[in-house]
Structure 1
Amino acid sequence: MVDDEEQAVELPAIEFESPGSFSVHNPEPVAVLGEPHEPAPFILGQHLSLERFSKPDQARAHALALMQQARRSLCIYSQDLEPWLYHHNSVQQACSVFLLANPKNRLRILVKDLGHAIKDGSRLISLSRRLSSNLLIRKLNPDYPIEDTAYLLADDRGILLRPEAGQFAGYASYQDAGRVRLRQAQFNQAWETSITDPDLRSFLL
């Protein structure tokens, strides 16, 4: 028999006041199939205004427009080959059409970290297995100064640039030879010191 003193004493209820609501930012789901992306309605080599953007769908529209209209060269400088921007069927198709249009066309990609892109099966990495002669992917040399930016260059006129790689915001220009020339020179210098990622080589075998 349990004494009254040994009986469990019911604790008083604890009052809880919510400190407020919180907004949780989760990355957008990677859209691979789904609806095709629509390109921005600007003409490479003709549209003179600088187009600023702050949302991912705007960045995707400009990137797709530049890829679809390039006729000689595409260069991508990226921290991790952003899946929200490049991992989509529309991008893969645009790059495939570009590369097959002329055997001299080249798509070069410089990436700081390819780990996630390889693990997630990036559409562009998959494309490089079929078009390895003119789609080249290299890893930035860790000993070379790496900018915290991300950009896409189309021929000698078009550029999409995000000054902070971790942010969506940036700008696109469809007719800016001077700005593209500067970035192209920086890209070429980084390319000369770039290295082959052994994980990428295994993936492509």
Structure 2
Amino acid sequence: MSIRIRKYSWQLAPQSLKDIRQQVFIDEQKVPPELEWDDTDEIADHYLAVLPDNTPVGVSRMYPSVTDTAHIGRMAILPAYRGQGVGAQLLRRMMDDAVPQFQDLYLSAQLHAVPFYESNGFHVCSAPYDDAGIPHVDMRCLAPSLVLPQLDTRAAPLVLGKDMESWLFEGEAELIALTDTLANQASQKLWLYDQNLEHDLYDRFRFREILSALARRHRLSEVRLLIHDDKPLVKKRHQIIELMKRVPSKIELRLVNADYPFDDNPYLVIDGQAVLYRHGFDQATGFAQLASGGRAKLLSESFQRMWDAGSPSREFRPVSI
């Protein structure tokens, strides 16, 4: 469907934008008015989709948070125009607007809409919860600049277990985006093998928060960090090491035993089905696969052999809290 998308501040938004939200959320979905109209409207950018004859058909909004995340929400399409691509065009316009400033996009999705958002590069990152009497889940896109060019060619870009194609990466920015995207979808196991926990790659707030959430997600959660050299971690404070000290039963660090065979390239394995593989310890090139059980199995077996032959770092001890 051919549409135009206009962006407004709340102060200048036309009444038709508010009317669509009233019709869809309050009248159709029975959301209480006091929940629908909130203070966030004042700081958000509001999007209105109109037909070539200026008939309003859909709305959405986006606003920044203090954690450098863009929040997307209040997406509503009038019943007569659903299933015709209006929502996808609205979402892609917001993603395109967000990319120059944000590489972390967040939204709260009604359960029935999860496949739609997955088809646009968002993945589920929470258990279901109730919002205004409607089941929801949180969803994130941690690599919008990578996802956007692929939306017309991939069914569920960067969604664990559903994206069947490989992602090639070149450069640290793409490596970080893919590392966080895979790690954030781990439901139980994250195994990481590298030369060391390089500060630029791993000593980051977002990666720390992802590992922290995983460590607390499930009683069997398991984060294994297998490295060759822990000396850089001694010289400079590292967020992941500080986290490890606080949840030692969930996050464990071991050193590779150089007297036993070890792999020549670093990698990340997620839940036995996704991998991120680099072409060398000092390289920011490689590939990621989100539905590769066979490769994940081979790397997991190799990792397990090195893990069994390795030893805990003597430099770090758990602390009681």
TM-score interval (norm. to shorter): 0.7 to 0.9
Matched residue SS, 2:315: helix
**Paired position in structure 1 for 2:47:** none
Q: Distance in 2 between matches of 1:52 and 1:123?
A: 28
Paired position in structure 2 for 1:127: 243
Tell me, in whole angstroms, the C-alpha distance in 1 between the residues paired with 2:243 and 2:274. 23
- Residue 192 of structure 2 is matched in structure 1 by 76
Partner of 1:116: 232
SS at 1:108 equivalent? strand
Matches within 5 A, 1:55-66: 55-66=171-182
Partners of 1:132 and 1:196 lie apart in 2 by 12
Verify: 1:99 aligned to 2:215, yes or no: yes
Correspondence for 1:52 among 168, 174, 177: 168
Is 1:186 the equivalent of 2:302? yes
- Whole-angstrom distance in 1 between the partners of 2:299 and 2:273: 11
From 262, 285, 300, the equivalent of 1:169 is 285
Query: Are residue 89 (structure 1) and residue 198 (structure 2) matched?
Result: no
Flag structure 1 segments of 5+ consecutive residues without an equivalent: 1-33
Deviation at 1:119, TM superposition (A): 2.0
Instruction: Report the Cα distance in structure 2 between the residues aligned to 1:200 and 1:112, rounded to whole angstroms.
Output: 15
SS in 2 for 1:142: coil
In the superposition, the TM-score normalised over structure 2's length comes to 0.51
What residue in structure 1 maps to residue 270 of structure 2? 154
Give the secondary structure class of the aligned counterpart of 1:164: coil
Identity score, percent: 26
* Residues 33-54 of structure 1 deviation map (CA, whole Å, 9 limit, x = unaligned): x957632351011111100001
Q: CA deviation at 1:147?
A: 2.4
- Find the partner of 2:256 among 130, 133, 140: 140
- Residues 73 and 107, structure 1, Cα contact 8 Å, conserved in 2: yes
Give the 3-state SS of the residue equivalent to 2:225 in structure 1: strand
Question: Structure 1 CA distance, aligned partners of 2:198 and 2:162?
Answer: 28
Count of aligned pairs: 170
Helix, strand or coil: the match of 1:75?
A: strand
Deviations 1:149-170 (A, max 9, x none): 1111110111111021111101
Q: Kindly provide the amino acid, as one letter, of the partner of residue 193 in structure 1.
A: A
The alignment status of 1:200 with 2:316, answered yes or no, reads: yes
How many Å separate the matches in 2 of 1:118 and 1:183? 28
1:91-148, Cα deviation, whole Å (9 max, x unpaired): 0000111110111110001010011023222211111011000101011112112323
**Counterpart amino acid of residue 306 in structure 2:** A
Q: Which moved more, 1:91-100 or 1:39-48?
A: 39-48
The unaligned stretches of length 5 or more in structure 2 are: 1-66, 70-102, 105-141, 148-157
TM-score (structure 1 length as normaliser): 0.79
Q: Which amino acid aligns with 2:216?
A: L
Alpha-carbon RMSD: 1.5
How far apart, CA to CA, are the structure 2 residues paired with 1:54 and 1:148?
A: 19
Give 2:83's aligned residue: none
Partner of 1:28: none
Paired residue type of 2:268:
L
Letter in 1 for 2:195: Q
Given residue 280 of structure 2, which amino acid in structure 1 is its aligned partner? E
Q: How does 1:16-31 map to 2 (within 5 A)?
A: none
The structure carrying a bigger strand percent of its residues is 2
